[in-house]
Amino acid sequence: MTTSTLLFSPVEADLKLLTDNLKQLVGARHPILYAAAEHLFRVQGKRVRPAIVFLISRTTMPNQEISPKHRRLAEITEMIHTASLVHDDVVDESEIRRGVPTVHSLFTNRVAVLAGDFLFAQSSWYLANLDNLEVVKLLSEVIMDLAEGEIQQGLHKFDTDLSIDAYLEKSYYKTASLIANSSKAAATLSGVSPELAQDMYYYGRYVGLAFQIVDDILDFTSVTESLGKPACSDLKSGHLTAPTLYALAEKPTLEKLIERELAQDGDLEEAIQLIKDSHGIEKSQELATKYAKMGVEHLQSLPDCDSRQALINLTDYVLSRLY
């Protein structure tokens, strides 16, 4: 049993049902689109986003069974996340995701883009059928944020003037927005107070930012096999993340390498070494820890139960991936 399975034990049965349902939900008429979607859901990720939806749903519905709408929200959340990964892989020209070939490398770019579009469309249709305007607004905003994050990332390739604040804004759009808004949506479906629903939004926001910062650190400290994608792929693509941005303040040579887009032989290797020799990774760890702690602070109003404890433990798990 993996760490994440133990972590999500209060909602293990919910996640099993979700995995079964996802394959049925994407029953596309076109066999290639269906094959692409089935490939995506056959690859087992950690299912962190729907797990958070289930944990918040159960914590905000104490002594009651969660509703079919909570379950559908978790499924929609995973569909949106998966659709965004398909499009990201096309834009980034990634050949591997979670250790297996990406959709566009198995099929074609055209099929991958259509598969991503199809999943976004399916999720939007199921979202509308929840008949809850507030939840529709929250998750529709996520889809806009994902596009905004991708645009911002594309506009700032090899941009050594990028600030930490701009990096965090992009990280919110690309990663934290889905976790934050689906967390608030889960609480909204439970009928909690607006204040508690907003607390769930901030929990998701801060955990999402911590999660992204940790991912960006692991891009430098892990090997391809454990990452499920090529190591240092962000830097190679010109996407400057927290470790690089902090290192730029210490290492003038790094700026020169990045400004010439790591074009010469040995540039990438030298840049990676400069980042590892700086305090960039250490400062990024401190930033991730800060956001994880801020996330926990927004759980204080929830009743004490296994699901609430799992939400707290999740923040520890996010940080533990570094060690």
Q: Which residues contact 128 (CB under 8 A, 6 or more apart)?
A: 136
- Given a contact cutoff of 8 angstroms between Cβ atoms, the answer to whether 167 and 191 are in contact is no
Q: How far apart are CA 232 and CA 283, in angstroms?
A: 18
- Tens of each residue's pLDDT in the chain, 323 residues: 455 668 999 999 999 999 888 877 776 566 776 676 666 666 656 789 999 999 999 999 988 999 999 999 999 999 999 888 887 777 766 777 656 777 777 777 888 788 888 889 989 999 999 999 999 999 999 999 999 999 999 999 999 999 999 999 999 999 999 999 999 999 999 999 999 999 999 999 999 999 999 999 999 998 654 555 567 889 999 999 999 999 999 999 999 999 999 999 999 999 999 999 999 999 999 999 999 999 999 999 999 999 999 999 999 999 999 98
Write the CB contacts of 211 (distance below 8 Å, at least 6 apart in sequence).
48, 175, 176, 179, 318
What pLDDT is attached to residue 297? Answer: 98
Residue 16 CA to residue 202 CA, distance in Å, equals 27
- For 66, phi then psi, to 5°, come to -70, 155
Cβ partners under 8 Å of residue 65, min gap 6: none
What is the model's pTM? 0.92
pLDDT of residue 1: 42
Angle subtended at Cα 21 by Cα 15 and Cα 26, rounded to the nearest 5 degrees: 130
| 3-state secondary structure (DSSP) of residue 101 | strand
Q: 3-state secondary structure string, 212-228?
A: HHHHHHHHHHCCHHHHC
280/91 Cα distance (integer angstroms):
27
Task: Look at residue 95 and give its three-state secondary structure.
Answer: coil
Structural domains of the chain in order of their starting residue, each with its CATH number: 4-321 (1.10.600.10)
How would you classify residue 115: left for phi > 0, otherwise alpha for psi between -120 and 50, otherwise beta?
Answer: alpha
Which residues sit opposite 248 in a β-bridge? none
Nearest residue to 4 (alpha-carbon basis) of 40, 47, 54, 41: 47
Q: What is the DSSP string of 126-174?
A: HHHTT--HHHHHHHHHHHHHHHHHHHHHHHTTT-TT--HHHHHHHHIII
Retrieve residue 154's tokens: 């594309």
